[in-house]
């Protein structure tokens, strides 16, 4: 039973790996752009000689790079299948959608971790800043829990390319843009217009950022450029609880919505390669 579950799931992981390798030149281009974009943002803080601002911008760039890459890989997985001409074969294969999407999501996490590490390495070439005293293991724990919620969001967004072969992929970027705007990636949520601020607390990125800023010590007045005072993991249990609850709700909801969209696509003939 375990073998019958994990073997096909890993098959989807390796399929996505080989698909990524086929388009490695595009991957290099986009990662290079992400490094330059992140460095440009972080250098704003450096130019102000403000280590808190620099850390805030660096954290925002890296965390958003991780979460958005994972969201994109899951949300656009259907678009990739359609471009390759394998969508009908995948949807008609004798594999449960849970196993299929679990494999896609697992690859998305692995890819996002590697991509974020590469971007961090590129940032170090431009920004030298001490992380002594930061609770980096706590940050890793927050990212893992936040990944669950973003998996759910990615699954929900993945129905858009199913429902609209022509414009679905573009629509996933609209959702991503809204999350970037309301989550306070590079600024506190309090600077948003009052009518937008309630939306911030519907985004898992908001809670992930708040927790990571505490764990690194950005919000601690005792932190200095040479020695940060990161909070213990116990201090961000409320944020972790909310992120975990979001993941528990969004993943089954995403699977359910995707299943309904799949049934509709099969009934209306939307699985063909072109619209």
DSSP notation for 150-208: HHHHHHHHTHHHHH-TTTHHHHHHHHHHHHHHHTTSSS-GGGS-TTTHHHHTT-HHHHH
Instruction: Give backbone dihedrals phi and psi of 87, rounded to 5 degrees, phi first.
Output: -60, -45
* Whole-model pTM over 0.95: no
Q: Give the whole-angstrom CA distance, residue 24 versus residue 131.
A: 32
Reported as half-sphere exposure (CB side, CA atoms, 13 A), residue 86 has a value of 11
Note whether residue 273 is domain-resident: no
246, 255 in Cβ contact below 8 A?
Answer: no
52, 218 in Cβ contact below 8 A?
Answer: yes
Note whether residue 274 is domain-resident: no
Give, rounded to a whole angstrom, the gap between the first and last alpha carbons of the chain.
38
Q: How far is CA 184 from CA 57, 206, 241, 272, in A?
A: 11, 6, 20, 39
pLDDT in tens, the chain (275 residues): 566 667 778 888 888 888 888 888 988 999 999 999 999 999 998 888 888 899 999 999 999 988 888 888 887 777 777 777 776 667 777 777 778 888 888 888 899 989 999 998 998 888 888 888 889 899 999 998 999 998 888 888 888 777 776 676 777 888 888 888 999 899 889 899 999 999 999 999 999 999 999 999 998 898 888 889 999 999 999 999 999 999 999 999 988 888 888 788 777 766 665 54
Note whether residue 227 is domain-resident: yes
Q: How far is CA 47 from CA 51, 69, 94, in A?
A: 10, 28, 57
Note whether residue 251 is domain-resident: yes
Domain range for 94: 2-268
Note whether residue 213 is domain-resident: yes
**Contacts of 184 by beta carbon, 8 Å cutoff, 6+ apart:** 191, 192, 200, 206, 209
Domain count, the chain: 1
Note whether residue 41 is domain-resident: yes
């Amino acid at each position: 039973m375990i073998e019958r579950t994990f073997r096909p799931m890993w098959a989807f992981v390796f399929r996505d790996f080989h698909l990524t390798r086929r388009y490695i030149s595009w991957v290099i281009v986009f990662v290079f752009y992400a490094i330059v974009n992140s460095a440009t943002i972080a250098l704003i803080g450096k130019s102000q000689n403000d280590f808190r601002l620099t850390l805030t911008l660096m954290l925002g760039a890296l965390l958003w790079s991780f979460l958005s890459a994972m969201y994109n890989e899951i949300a656009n997985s259907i678009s990739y299948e359609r471009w390759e001409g394998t969508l009908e074969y995948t949807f008609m294969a004798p594999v449960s959608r849970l196993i299929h999407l679990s494999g896609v999501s697992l690859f998305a996490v692995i890819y996002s971790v590697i991509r974020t590490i590469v971007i961090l390495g590129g940032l170090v070439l431009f920004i030298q800043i001490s992380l002594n005293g930061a609770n980096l293991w706590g940050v890793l724990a927050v990212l893992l829990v936040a990944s669950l919620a973003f998996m759910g969001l990615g699954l929900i967004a993945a129905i858009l390319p199913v429902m609209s072969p022509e414009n679905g992929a573009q629509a996933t970027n609209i959702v991503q843009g809204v999350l970037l705007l309301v989550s306070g990636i590079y600024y506190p949520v309090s600077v948003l217009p009052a009518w937008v601020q309630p939306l911030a607390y519907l985004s898992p990125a908001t809670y992930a950022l708040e927790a990571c800023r505490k764990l690194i010590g950005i919000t601690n007045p005792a932190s200095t450029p040479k020695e940060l005072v990161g909070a213990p993991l116990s201090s961000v249990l409320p944020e972790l609880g909310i992120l975990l609850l979001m993941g528990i709700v969004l993943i089954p909801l995403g699977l359910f919505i995707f299943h309904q969209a799949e049934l509709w696509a099969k009934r209306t003939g939307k699985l063909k390669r072109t619209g």
